[in-house]
């Protein structure tokens, strides 16, 4: 049975980025039969404070098990550089970039990456409910949503003025508006087991919901029960009008 130990992996990546400062850290998130594991790698770049390079043999030996190629951006946000994009395409593996000391996470997928693979292994900040929404809107409506860098893991357990509105505000910045009654393709924002709203889902024609969770990946089910009880609002993109 696969145990999704993403929290431990993200915390290990955060420690690695701290331990490597002022250089960029680098490593690999590997998927085993039972869980994820993180492999620290040596940054062999000639300019390790501004770039990273992993020994090619380390990549080759672990290639089939690689879930994410990891590196940090020092004193900045995890916005991918042109070199990151080039390397991601060349390796054909997702890149997970962490900003230090912000601990924000950004995931870069190669263009050829099969989106159907994403929901199989939920990973907060990479393959999560917002990833599902972005993929759905691109595939169904040809709308490119902003790929927001995710906040530090566990931000949903702090109910301050920012976190209470962070999820909805991110959607409003991306050209969504609040509506009273959902129609096919609208976004559902919910608060499920957290102090603040965090969860994104898609309302489907017929009264179903399409969503992604740590326990089941991408799934479709009836929009009722806990979903209805914990819904904060419905959102519709202006690009669909």
Q: What is the pLDDT of residues 188-209, one digit of tens each?
A: 999 988 899 999 999 999 999 9
**Cβ–Cβ < 8 Å for 198, 214:** no
pTM: 0.85
- CATH number of the domain at 81, please: 3.40.140.10
Asked whether residue 79 falls in the same domain as residue 158, the answer is no
Q: What is the pLDDT of residue 116?
A: 55
pLDDT score at 113? 73
Same domain, 102 and 43: yes
Q: How far is CA 144 from CA 45, 63, 92, in A?
A: 34, 30, 21
Domain match, 135 and 109 both: no
- Supply the pLDDT for residue 213: 79
- Give the Cβ contact number of residue 99 at 10 Å: 20
- State which of 113, 142, 158 marks the end of a domain: 113
**Same-domain status, 102 and 138:** no
Q: Establish if 1 belongs to a structural domain.
A: no
**235 and 189 Cβ atoms separated by less than 8 Å:** yes
| 140 lies in the same domain as 103 | no
pLDDT at 3: 75
Domain with residue 184: its CATH number is 3.90.1720.10
- Is residue 178 situated within a structural domain? yes
In a shared domain, residues 148 and 84: no
User: Which structural domain range is residue 81 located in?
Assistant: 6-113
The answer to the question of residue 230 being in a domain is yes
- pLDDT at position 190 is 95
Instruction: Show the low-confidence residues of the chain (pLDDT under 50).
Output: none
> Is residue 122 situated within a structural domain?
no
Backbone angles phi, psi at 105, to 5 degrees: -120, 140
* Cα–Cα separations (whole angstroms), residue 26 to 43, 48, 77, 184, 230: 6, 10, 16, 41, 39
Alpha helices in the chain (DSSP H): 6-20, 56-62, 82-91, 129-141, 161-173, 225-230
Give the count of domains, the chain.
2
Residues 100 and 133 in one domain: no
Task: Give the per-residue pLDDT at 115.
Answer: 58
**Does any domain span residue 83?**
yes
Do 135 and 193 sit in the same domain of this protein? yes
Q: Is 192 helix (H, G, I), strand (E, B) or coil?
A: coil
């Amino acid at each position: 049975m696969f145990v999704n130990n993403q929290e431990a992996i993200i915390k290990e990546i955060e420690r690695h980025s701290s331990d490597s400062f002022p250089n960029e850290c680098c490593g690999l998130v590997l998927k085993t039969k039972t869980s994820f594991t993180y492999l620290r790698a040596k940054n062999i770049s000639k300019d390790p404070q501004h770039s990273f390079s992993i020994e090619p043999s380390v990549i080759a030996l672990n290639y089939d098990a690689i879930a994410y190629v990891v590196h940090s951006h020092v004193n900045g946000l995890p916005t991918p550089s042109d070199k990151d994009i080039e390397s991601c395409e060349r390796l054909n593996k997702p890149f997970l970039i962490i900003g230090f000391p912000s601990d924000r996470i950004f995931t870069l997928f190669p263009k050829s990456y099969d989106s159907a693979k994403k929901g199989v292994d939920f990973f907060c900040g990479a393959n999560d409910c917002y990833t599902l929404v972005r993929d759905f809107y691109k595939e169904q409506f040809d709308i490119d949503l902003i790929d927001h860098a995710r906040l530090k893991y566990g931000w949903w357990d702090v109910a301050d003025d920012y976190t209470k509105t962070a999820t909805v505000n991110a959607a409003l910045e991306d050209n969504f508006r609040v509506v009273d009654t959902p129609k096919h393709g609208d976004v559902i924002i919910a608060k499920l087991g957290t102090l603040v709203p965090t969860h994104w889902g898609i309302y489907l024609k017929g009264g179903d919901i399409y969503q992604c969770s740590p326990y089941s990946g991408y799934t479709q089910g009836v929009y009722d029960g806990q979903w209805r009880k914990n819904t904060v609002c419905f959102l519709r993109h202006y690009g669909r009008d």
